[in-house]
Amino acid sequence: MLEATPLGDGWILRHETAALPAVVPGCVHTDLLAAGVIPDPFLGRNETEVAWVGRRDWTYERDLRAAADGAEQTDLVFEGLDTVAEVLLDGRLLGRVRNMHRSHRFDVTGLSGRLSVRFVSAYAEAEAVRGKLGERPAAYAEPFPYIRKMACSFGWDWGPTLVTAGIWRPVRLEHWSTARIARVRPLVTVEPGLGRLELVVDIERTRVEAPLTVEATVGGVRARASVDGTEGVVRLDVPSPRLWWPRGYGEQALYDVELTLLHGDEPLDVWRRRIGFRSVELDRSPDAHGTGFTVVVNGERLFARGVNWIPDDVFPSRVTRARYRARLGQAADAGVDLVRVWGGGIYESEDFYDACDELGLLVWQDFPFACAAYPEEQPLRGEVEAEARENVVRLMPHPSLVLWNGNNENLWGFRDWDWEPRLAGESWGEGYYLGVMPRVVAELDPTRPYTAGSPWSGSWDRHPNDPAHGTHHSWEVWNRDDYTRYRDEVPRFMAEFGWQAPPAHATLRRALPDEVLAPDSPGMLHHQKAEDGNGKLRRGLERHFAFPEGDFDRWHYLTQVNQARAVAAGIEHWRSHWPVCAGTVLWQLNDCWPVTSWAAIDGDGREKPLYHELRRLYADRLLTLQVREQELVLAAVNQGAGAWEAAVRLRRMSVEGDVLGEVSVPMAAERRAVGLVGVPEELAPVGPKEFLVADVGELRALYFPAPDREIPYPRPEFEVDLVPGGVRVTALTLVRDLLLQADRLAPGARADRGLVTLLPGEQVTIGVRGWETPVLETAHSALYCVEPSR
């Protein structure tokens, strides 16, 4: 029987004459940090102080005894090496590696001695490949397209430049005889009343003549098949299986699968995974509006409520199973049902996909290509296909995985970012996205759809980012326009859009402990990686508010309000146009360090106001007031399983709190549909002193026809009381976008809600956890709301 021996202990890290304890899995930066050799690169401007680490070569060493009693073969297996290295045993070269995104296996039967993994600087490798293959255009000057490594290690417009090296995933010895299971491809299909599982098993042998069989069980069904050479195929039919559904549509039924490789009655190896019975399609049918892009699971058409996911730490080996579960749990709690694993990161660990399986989060998986022209010549082409083949098979068991995507923004970049003339006919990745990857997916994982890129209109006959066809990215709004421009178009699927805001105050205080905070203070600027990011924040703010010169706390609050308002403007509009628009994928859910960014959850795991706004925007039921053809309408968005009928209370109000008109009108929305209700003309607010309120039960929609800087708000007045488990606020005037910044009460404190607007006389209780010694004065100081323009 195959036996595995973990090799996580006993490693040292060598550089020149120094030897330090090393943690495996890990990386050079985390080992140097633990030894006190480098400062924390997340604090202050230390990132620049540790840039030298990525330019050096490093060696990991430990003793290895590979012999095992009775085993015919022993393999040394690295699940992940980052990135370019020689593997040696007592000076004997076992092999060379150059790809972070795949595993590596070496035959060490009967060997022992000093095991060394000598890492070459990723910069040196990438620059050498660039010198050989020629320059390619990219969004950033760093050489990330020339090496199969997590691109955002080299920095991004939200991430630090911390170029890693190390044994970043587990390493082990495998002792085996006769044969072992090399890989298993589980092909899951669903028919009426039947779930079918076909397990295609590839075998590696030491004895060619040995007769082998494979036996599998799932859901109480057992089947057996003989191995023909190096392949066996087992088919199992499960009657009336419980289906796996995305969250909000049904249960997340998971089945344990066990497959055993046998020589006669002797078990040689076992493969265990969990699968789910579900069907998935991508409806890209042409229609009167263009070309659709609708995810269909078990025959149910979905409006995808999505977020983009980046690596949760710039040092991915630090992301534990518990951390994945916590972060993805935050996504699920916000109403998210789709997570896009973005192409500048990694194929995540099994822990990520396990959590998505259990939480009912659909996974859209990018292949790791982003924002650059990628050469297609060797030594890259063979590595690309090898990593694709390995990871497609590795991730196939997960029912949460519903879509493979070829790249992020590279097809768009070729057409719009002046790449084509600069390339002058050189390769740039098209052969990967329209050739290698679709071929690999079709061969290995035909049960899942593939799309060539995001954005992608489906054909070079159309602009790659045409909103009427396929997936669309909206960045002109953040870069140049007001967020109200989101309402100018109805894309078929909004795969990227977003608005920046700084992280929570406690996160900034931890990252910049000795700094007098200001939007342009040195540390704040260092932790703002976007080109002219602060300028865009200012211009976006000034379209709606008077800029709070010299008041950092006010700036901090208002930029977070603006982020939530911007995202709400887009999602409310696009959801109200379902089924023409079939999904929104916010850029982005998370951060990999403390930074001003588009994230809803900051680098310390704290929720921004945007996070709480997502809970409203992505709820099954959403009320929103929209202007359609110059007429004001109420859209009742119903993603629930049942019809929604109710009476809507509409009130035209003045900012002083007077009711200028009121009516109750019926509203109806079928299951998974949108119902529209026209607003009576006499209730439409006129001028900046008026607004409209729509209430259905606990749901509310607000419509202010003017930007805040033009609204003559009264000075907000409210009373604050401490109550068990939180803070109660009673409004005496209109209080717009009240926010309790819980981390100002205590760094570990969390509030259960974000921005809330109160009419005169209304009351809200904000739950707070992690605040051990409540003080009324402290609660007052942590409350913010919109104030009259000065």
C-alpha–C-alpha distance, residues 780 and 423, integer Å: 59
Asked whether the beta carbons of 761 and 567 are under 8 A apart, the reply is no
DSSP state of 18: E
CA angle, 555 then 559 then 564, to 5°: 150
Please tell me the total number of residues recorded for the chain in this structure. 790
Asked whether the beta carbons of 307 and 591 are under 8 A apart, the reply is no
Residue whose tokens read 């795991």: 605
C-alpha–C-alpha distance, residues 258 and 271, integer Å: 6
Asked whether the beta carbons of 512 and 604 are under 8 A apart, the reply is no
C-alpha–C-alpha distance, residues 348 and 379, integer Å: 24
Task: Indicate the residue type of 2.
Answer: L
Q: Are strands 471-473 and 493-496 parallel, antiparallel or unpaired?
A: parallel
Omega before 41 cis (within 30°)? Answer: no
Reported as type and span, the H/E element at residue 610 is helix 609-617
Number of Cβ atoms within 10 Å of the Cβ of 154 = 25
Reduced to 3 DSSP states, what percent helix, strand and coil does the chain have, rounded to the nearest 5? 25, 35, 40
Reported as type and span, the H/E element at residue 523 is helix 522-526
**Coil, strand or helix: which one is 441?**
helix
Encoded tokens for 591: 């951060």
Asked whether the beta carbons of 226 and 219 are under 8 A apart, the reply is no
Encoded tokens for 428: 């740039």
C-alpha–C-alpha distance, residues 684 and 651, integer Å: 9
Asked whether the beta carbons of 643 and 636 are under 8 A apart, the reply is no
- Which of 355, 435, 468 has the alpha carbon at shortest distance from 401? 355
C-alpha–C-alpha distance, residues 180 and 171, integer Å: 18
Encoded tokens for 6: 């973990």
- Which of 699, 705, 451 has the alpha carbon at shortest distance from 585? 451
Asked whether the beta carbons of 607 and 327 are under 8 A apart, the reply is no
Asked whether the beta carbons of 145 and 356 are under 8 A apart, the reply is no
Ramachandran class of 250: left when φ > 0, alpha when ψ lies in -120 to 50, beta otherwise: left
Catalytic residue among 47, 61, 376, 409: 409
Task: Determine whether 666 is exposed, middle or buried from the number of CB atoms within 10 Å of its CB (0-12, 13-18, 19+).
Answer: exposed
**Coil, strand or helix: which one is 686?**
coil
Indicate if 409 belongs to the active site. Answer: yes
C-alpha–C-alpha distance, residues 68 and 394, integer Å: 28
Task: Indicate the residue type of 508.
Answer: L
Task: Indicate the residue type of 85.
Answer: A
Active site positions, annotated = 409
